[in-house]
């Protein structure tokens, strides 16, 4: 799987209502910083009124209070997706899970497990510009009579358990020791806040944490603690959480990824169909719009000139355009709902011309600069036949090059996708590869002078092989030629025309007592010639009867 990418987004777009964001997937992160260390201290981001907008650098992370008069302020339903709500006084703590909640965590639709892949990603900006950050918001709901509150602990854990519980506060070890959990961020200190914004549904606080490496199925667990800063706030009250809830949430934004797979996975024998599936998924909290999938479909195996792959699709919303060799798949979808996915498929038949690895890359684009790609490949397997030719001799003279050079025609499988010829060399060896799996008829079609052509042989190709292999593992066929013989019986009458001679001969399988002669001639002065006899092993027998009539 590959990362989705989108254009660099300036800080002022963090709270835009309709902004596409992408999340990092499957063990890929833009940066891996030592986030667990050196994140503390006191950071004052209090503002005096709703026009305020204050940011603090926490070392590796960034925290920002956004006044409601800011151009970046957004409120109303449908913008945010909450995943953790806590409420308590004078302090509060809690974390999100689908399991049993602890501490002052509020149950209900506001608290739930959330995948790490569902956390929107933006450019960190500032000193970390060019680095991807998880984008988190907090809706702060403190009392109008006591607006000052402190955020004192923020931890991020990655876990394989969406029902995780059993956070250890006494030993201050969190989820350490629980299988499948890893802490990737920790802030312990004092972030001082004056909640001047009125009402709920806002993103009052923005928290940016550099993305850390995670797997596609990892869950994002956030623990936070509020209201433990010592001393009094400027209004004479404590920094305690004395009002309503604090709610962590993410912007409802699409989070689109693409995965391409070969179907079947292969290897596939030439002559069978190959195919690819392209799945585009939206794991975000908002629909993606104007999703377009494109695929420059391969003409054949990598490194093979030309190519005869002719692709087709039955997937709704998709068309294939262009001639064979330069075909392009285009699929258009107006929307892709949150939590939904689309799978489109392409298939092509193959021939022996497609032997090798067929590589393919699919891509997508969507509104808000969303894009991505992924690739897959499938091996089209072909075999080879090696022919070794010899000739039979009654004496010990052995074969000569003239005896061993012959041309063979290979035809098959059915329906025929490969008909080719191969000529043995002076040593009697010939090889042909790039053959689709299946049954082949091998016939000697150009035979050395004086030899009989043997019957065609059937060879089944089912091993992946090439003639260039150091050790040949393909199919082998031995062919032996039998030399032909001419027999002539000559009659010479001592007196021209004085005698008449009947010459009759029966070949193998014929009985002179019951069958007519296979060869016959009546001559006075002349001969009977029997040509191109094909001796069997060890010999061929002719039974001849000669009758002389004076």
For residue 473, how far is the Cα from the chain centroid?
29
CA angle 237, 241, 247 (to 5 degrees): 145
CATH topology of domain 383-483: Immunoglobulin-like (2.60.40)
Q: At residue 454, does pLDDT exceed 60?
A: yes
- Confidence at 72, pLDDT banded by 50, 70, 90: very low
Instruction: Return the C-alpha torsion angle 414, 351, 417, 270, nearest 10.
Output: -40
Instruction: Choose among 296, 294, 369, 372: nearest CA to 333.
Output: 294
For domain 256-379, give the CATH superfamily. ntegrin, alpha v. Chain A, domain 4 (2.60.40.1530)
The per-residue DSSP string of 450-497 comes to TEEPPPPEEEEE-S---TT-SS--SEEEEEEEEEPEEEEEEEE-SSTT
pLDDT digit string (tens) for 360-396? 999 999 998 889 999 999 999 888 999 998 877 655 5
Weakest-pLDDT range from 27-41, 69-83, 184-198, 476-490:
27-41
Per 3-state DSSP, the chain is made up of helix, strand and coil in percentages (nearest 5) of: 5, 45, 50
When pLDDT is averaged across residues 33-45 and rounded to a whole number, the result is 72
pTM for this model (two decimals)? 0.58
Q: Find out whether 483 and 392 touch, Cβ atoms under 8 Å.
A: yes
- Confidence at 216, pLDDT banded by 50, 70, 90: confident
Q: Please report which helix (H) or strand (E) contains residue 401, including its range.
A: helix 401-404
Of 242 and 395, the structure prediction assigns the larger pLDDT to: 242
Q: What's the mean per-residue pLDDT of the chain?
A: 85
Q: At residue 451, does pLDDT exceed 90?
A: no
Q: Which two tokens stand for residue 427?
A: 């040593």
Query: What was the pLDDT predicted at 28?
Result: 33
- Confidence at 16, pLDDT banded by 50, 70, 90: very low
Q: How far apart are CA 165 and CA 97, in angstroms?
A: 7
What are the backbone dihedrals phi and psi of residue 116, each rounded to the nearest 5 degrees, phi first?
-60, -30
Measured over the CA atoms of residue 481, residue 482, residue 483 and residue 485, the dihedral's sign is: negative
Q: Residue 87, exposed/middle/buried by CB under 10 A (0-12, 13-18, 19+)?
A: middle
pLDDT digit string (tens) for 100-110? 999 999 999 99
pLDDT digit string (tens) for 389-442? 887 765 555 566 677 888 999 998 755 566 788 999 988 899 998 888 888 999
CB atoms within 10 A of CB 426: 12
pLDDT > 70 fraction of the chain, expressed in percent and rounded:
87
Q: Which two tokens stand for residue 394?
A: 């009654």
Q: At residue 86, does pLDDT exceed 80?
A: yes
Q: At residue 2, does pLDDT exceed 60?
A: no
Q: How far apart are CA 374 and CA 282, in angstroms?
A: 15
Q: How far apart are CA 149 and CA 46, in angstroms?
A: 9
Whole-Å CA distances, 77 to 14, 122, 134, 409: 17, 22, 22, 75
Query: What was the pLDDT predicted at 37?
Result: 56
């Amino acid at each position: 799987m590959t990362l989705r990418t989108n254009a660099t987004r300036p800080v002022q777009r963090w709270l835009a209502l309709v902004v596409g964001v992408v999340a990092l997937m499957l063990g890929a992160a833009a940066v891996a910083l030592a986030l667990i260390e050196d994140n503390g201290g006191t950071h004052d981001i209090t503002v005096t009124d709703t026009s305020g907008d204050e940011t603090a650098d926490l070392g590796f992370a960034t925290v920002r209070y956004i006044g409601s008069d800011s151009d970046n302020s957004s409120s109303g339903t449908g913008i945010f997706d909450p995943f953790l709500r806590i409420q308590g006084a004078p302090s509060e703590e809690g974390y999100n899970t689908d399991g049993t909640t602890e501490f002052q965590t509020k149950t209900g639709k506001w608290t739930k497990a959330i995948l790490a892949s569902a956390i929107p990603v933006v450019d960190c900006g500032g000193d970390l510009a060019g680095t991807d950050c998880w984008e988190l918001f907090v809706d702060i709901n403190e009392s109008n009579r006591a607006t000052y509150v402190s955020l004192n602990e923020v931890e991020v854990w990655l876990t394989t358990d969406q029902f995780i519980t059993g956070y250890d506060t006494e030993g201050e070890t969190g989820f350490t020791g629980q299988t499948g959990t890893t802490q990737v961020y920790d802030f312990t200190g004092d972030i001082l806040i004056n909640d001047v914004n009125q009402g709920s549904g806002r993103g009052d606080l923005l928290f940016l944490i550099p993305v850390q490496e995670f797997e596609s199925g990892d869950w994002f667990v956030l623990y936070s603690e509020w209201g433990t800063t010592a001393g009094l706030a400027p209004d004479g009250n404590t920094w305690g959480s004395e009002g309503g809830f604090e709610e962590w949430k993410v912007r409802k934004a699409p989070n689109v990824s693409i995965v391409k797979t070969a179907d079947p996975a292969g290897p596939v024998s030439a002559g069978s169909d190959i195919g690819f599936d392209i799945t585009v998924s939206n794991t975000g909290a908002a629909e993606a719009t104007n999703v377009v999938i494109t695929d420059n479909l391969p003409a054949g195996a990598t490194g093979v000139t030309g190519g005869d792959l002719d692709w087709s699709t039955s997937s709704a919303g998709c068309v294939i355009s262009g001639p064979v060799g330069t075909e392009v798949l285009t699929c258009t979808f107006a929307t892709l709902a949150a939590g939904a996915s689309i799978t489109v498929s392409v298939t092509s038949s193959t021939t022996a011309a497609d032997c090798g690895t067929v590589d393919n890359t699919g891509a997508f684009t969507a509104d808000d600069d969303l894009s991505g790609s992924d690739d897959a490949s499938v091996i089209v397997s072909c075999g080879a036949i090696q022919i070794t030719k010899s000739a039979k001799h009654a004496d010990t003279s052995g074969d000569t090059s003239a005896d061993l050079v012959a041309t063979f025609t290979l035809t098959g499988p059915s329906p025929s996708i490969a008909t080719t010829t191969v000529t043995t060399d002076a040593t009697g060896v010939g090889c042909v590869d790039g053959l689709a799996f299946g049954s082949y008829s091998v016939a000697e079609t150009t035979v050395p002078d004086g030899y009989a052509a043997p019957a065609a042989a059937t060879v089944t190709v089912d091993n992946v092989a090439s003639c260039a292999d150091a050790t040949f593992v393909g199919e082998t066929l031995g062919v032996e030629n039998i030399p032909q013989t001419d027999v002539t019986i000559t009659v010479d009458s001592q007196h021209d025309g004085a005698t008449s001679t009947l010459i009759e001969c029966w070949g193998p399988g014929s009985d002179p007592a019951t069958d007519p002669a296979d060869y016959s001639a009546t001559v006075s002065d002349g001969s009977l010639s029997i040509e191109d006899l094909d001796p069997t092993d060890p010999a061929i027998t002719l039974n001849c009867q000669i009758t002389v009539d004076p």
